[in-house]
Structure 1
Amino acid sequence: MSALTRWSLVGATWLIILIVLILPPLLVLSEALRDGLLTALQTLADPDALSAIQLTVEMTILSVAINTVFGVLAAWTISKYRFPFRGVLVALIEIPISVSPVVAGLVWLLLFGSQGWWGAALDRYNIHIAFASPGILLATLFVTFPYVARTVLPLMEQQGRDAEDAAMLLGASFWQILWRVTLPDARWALLSGVLLTTARAMGEFGAVSVVSGHIPGMTETMPLHIETLYNGYQSVAAFTMAALLALMAMLTVGFRAMFENRARRMAKAGGMEA
């Protein structure tokens, strides 16, 4: 490959990154600060904005915690055992990646909405899932479920079962084996999956929009509140919230890249020592 071709490819790559990845956040930040930093910060002090931020943080923490536990257990089961329909289980775990989030929201609405299959029974016991926090959590869990499992699964398959079988022969329990034998070697992959789940949970819009009811101050997460503000011609407030959400997502992705680079350096150093 000639030097001209190589530098042309590098230049084209940077141009695409600049237009698609760097320019949009800069424009959002510019619009947020159009009337000054103080005005932008004041929009975040609005009760509906604070409620949206709080709900987003709560749903993110809960969904990450739940999907981390079940993702690790799913990856461990699939990687350590061979059983009928194992491939089907892997495909099912990956479904949220390919299915539109709006479809997931409609499914939860069909099940738990007031006109849904179980809506009348839930109403009798004053249990609210659709248009309430539980529905938002279910929608977020669905769209974020694959990330921990699929990130950890290849590494667990590479580990094999020798060390775990030895620990079992020495009398270790399942949780001791998982915590002290399996996860220490998979910690960087697990952390990467957790951060991916975090970023995805914070920015989810489609499924949450359908199942939440879009109620300001009650069931609006940050992405939904941005839409409400923008449709209400409150552009500075909308872009300020969008800038905050983008900053949170970029910090999460930045931490993931930092930890992955550290993991690669440690793996390289370990290979050189060996």
Structure 2
Amino acid sequence: MAGRLVMRGIALAYLGVLLAVPVGMVMVKTFEPGPVAVWQAVTTPAALHAFWLTLLVTAVAVPLNAVFGVLAALVLVRGRSRLRPVLDVMVDLPFAVSPVVVGLAMILVYGRDGWLGGWLADAGIRIIFSVPGIVIATMFVCLPFVAREVVPVLREIGTEQEQAASTLGASGWQTFWRVTLPAIRWGLAYGVVLSTARAVGEFGAVSIVSGKISGQTETLTLLVEKRYTNFDMAGAYAASALLAVIALATLGLMALLQRRKDTA
């Protein structure tokens, strides 16, 4: 009994030092100047644009990754292609590669002197230092989450229900919408929430490809960095607190989904 209490105490202390105390200090520092100052810091034109741009990028990147994640999971579990091991490795690539490397690779491909950049520039399409580049970078770093949540669910449910639907005359599309998708809905929802949290907090790849143009390509994470480097600590804390609130809301949604999954 005493050993369990000690282990729990160590675990709680570890989480407190690494997570609770730093986030709590950000909140304390944020509201030191008073709520009026905080409101002014998060409602400047630059802050509002960064907030809405972050939401826009997330709203585009996450659904696209959700579609790809489900398709990738179906190929990995139901497919018979010899390329499945390659796809399996590629899906996990964003976990292994630094986001900064991702940003540099995107410049090599989509930059003005890159592999596709010159052709895209001639067509009037700009990727690097614009919103499309931020979306693509965010999609890359968020790519694994939906697939890795859906794959174990597909393996658990097996193929019996899908085969039964096919035997009863359902097409592949009907089987997916009426059998497969309802069965994987909780794994899909959990993966979408994780992707959302990752998209909102992305910094490394976005900082490389965005150009950090205030009022144009500056997300919330980039706004925090700019204010910090400009010694605007109150503004940096306020923007950080806004990101923390979004993260806590995401965690709350994850807990709610997990509870509903357990009771379903």
Give the shorter-chain TM-score range: over 0.9
**1:183 CA drift (Å):** 1.6
Equivalent in the alignment of 1:269: none
Counterpart position of 1:255: 253
Q: Deviations over 1:162-205 (max 9, x none)?
A: 21122123332333211210121211111110100000000000
* Paired position in structure 1 for 2:130: 132
Structure 1: give runs of 5+ residues left out of the alignment. Answer: 267-274
Q: Name the structure 1 match of 2:223.
A: 225
| 1:97 corresponds to | 95
Picking from 232, 235, 247, the partner of 2:233 is: 235
Kept after mapping to 2: 8 A contact 1:139/1:207? yes
What does the per-residue CA deviation read over 1:253-274, in whole Å, with 9 as the maximum and x for residues that have no partner? Answer: 22112211221233xxxxxxxx
CA distance in 1, matches of 2:35, 2:244: 17
Secondary structure at the counterpart of residue 244 of structure 1: helix
- Would the alpha carbon gap of residues 228 and 151 (structure 1) be closer, same or farther in structure 2, given more than 3 Å must change? same
Per-residue CA deviation, residues 11-58 of structure 1 (Å, 9 max, x unaligned), is 111111111111111111111111101110111111111111011000
Q: Which residue number in structure 2 is paired with residue 22 of structure 1?
A: 20
Note if contact 2:75-2:84 (Cα within 8 Å) is conserved in structure 1: no
C-alpha separation in 1, matches of 2:213 and 2:15:
36
TM-score (norm 2): 0.96
Distance in 1 between residues matched to 2:117 and 2:181, nearest whole Å: 41
The percent of aligned pairs where both chains have the same amino acid is: 42
1:146 alignment counterpart = 144
* TM-score, scaled relative to structure 1: 0.93
Letter in 2 for 1:234: D
Q: Displacement, 1:249?
A: 1.1
Deviates more, 1:74-83 or 1:247-256: 74-83
* Counterpart residue number, 1:38: 36
User: Which of residues 60, 78, 81 in structure 2 aligns to 1:80?
Assistant: 78
Verify the 8 A CA contact 1:28 1:242 in the aligned structure 2. Answer: yes
In 2, the alpha carbon distance for the partners of 1:125 and 1:83 equals 36
CA distance in 2, matches of 1:119, 1:182: 39
| Residues 178-187 or 160-169, more deviating | 160-169
Q: Does 1:214 align with 2:204?
A: no
Of residues 90-99 and 166-175 in structure 1, the stretch that sits farther from structure 2 once superposed is: 166-175
Letter in 1 for 2:23: P
Equivalent pair of 1:226/1:239 in contact (CA under 8 Å): yes
Q: After TM superposition, what 4+ stretches of structure 1 lie above 3 angstroms from structure 2?
A: none
Corresponding residue of 2:8: 10
